[in-house]
């Protein structure tokens, strides 16, 4: 039987062994680490063999716990970057364990979606994509960032990630959201990030059935 569970605190967690889809959601306000660690417990101890879809939006300070979690059948992963005022160095350090977790999904992952929030002031997802290895079964890639492109300083790194998987890709989604508020003026060319992606990839690769932009 297919079962789906949404977690915003430990009271909602039930160790149902039939869970295939799981959501962990943080509202970007203050939090108690123990509450979210309780959400991780059944995920890491009970569902590692059957969980097929995982959506994560958690405080970055808790990402270190993902490094030791191994899923054998996870096919779909959506992760929300919520880094607030963190420095670039802190972002890199906080996401190290998470990147280990993602790269360990190489044998099962089919759909990968990254979403960044407009409240992430210094986030650069270029650094994230540089750290990702190939995923032999990946056929769907989705990216959602603020429309000014500030979270993707080098769109060509994203293009390189697409090219790694072009033999299997069936769907590419590039989405935009509310712009990030910056303390200093952003790169005036940053808003052209989507055009740079489209002009950098071979056109037969990005046909009307493969690419979705919004």
Tell whether the model's pLDDT for residue 107 goes beyond 80. yes
Residue 40 sits in a domain of what CATH number?
A: 3.80.10
3-state helix, strand, coil in the chain (%, to 5): 30, 20, 45
Domain span at 180: 3-213
Q: What is the CA radius of gyration of the chain?
A: 17
What are 43-95's pLDDT values in tens digits?
A: 766 777 888 999 999 888 888 888 988 899 999 999 999 999 999 999 999 99
pLDDT over 70 for what percent of the chain?
Answer: 76
pLDDT band, very low/low/confident/very high, at 7 (cuts 50, 70, 90): low
Number of domains in the chain: 1
Compute the mean pLDDT over every residue in the chain, rounded to the nearest whole number. 83
Report the predicted TM-score, pTM, of the whole model to 2 decimal places: 0.85
pLDDT tens column, 81-95: 999 999 999 999 999
Tell me which of 6 and 177 has the higher pLDDT. Answer: 177
């Amino acid at each position: 039987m297919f079962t789906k569970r949404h977690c915003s605190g430990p009271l909602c967690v039930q160790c149902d062994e039939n869970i295939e889809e799981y959501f962990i959601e943080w509202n970007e306000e203050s939090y108690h680490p123990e509450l979210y660690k309780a959400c991780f417990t059944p995920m890491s101890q009970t569902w590692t063999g059957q969980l097929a879809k995982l959506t994560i939006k958690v405080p970055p300070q808790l990402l270190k716990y993902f490094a030791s979690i191994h899923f054998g059948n996870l096919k779909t992963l959506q992760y929300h970057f919520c880094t607030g005022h963190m420095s670039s160095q802190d972002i890199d350090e906080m996401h190290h364990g998470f990147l280990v977790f993602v790269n360990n999904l190489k044998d099962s992952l089919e759909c990968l979606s990254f979403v960044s929030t407009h409240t992430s002031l210094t986030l650069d997802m270029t650094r994230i994509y540089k750290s990702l290895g190939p995923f032999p079964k990946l056929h769907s890639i989705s990216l959602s960032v603020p429309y000014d492109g500030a979270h993707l300083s080098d769109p060509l790194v994203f293009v390189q990630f697409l090219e790694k998987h072009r033999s299997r890709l069936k769907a590419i989604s590039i989405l935009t959201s509310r712009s990030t508020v910056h303390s200093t003026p952003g790169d005036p060319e940053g808003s052209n990030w989507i055009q740079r992606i489209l002009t950098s990839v071979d056109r037969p690769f990005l046909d009307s059935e493969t690419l979705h932009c919004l």
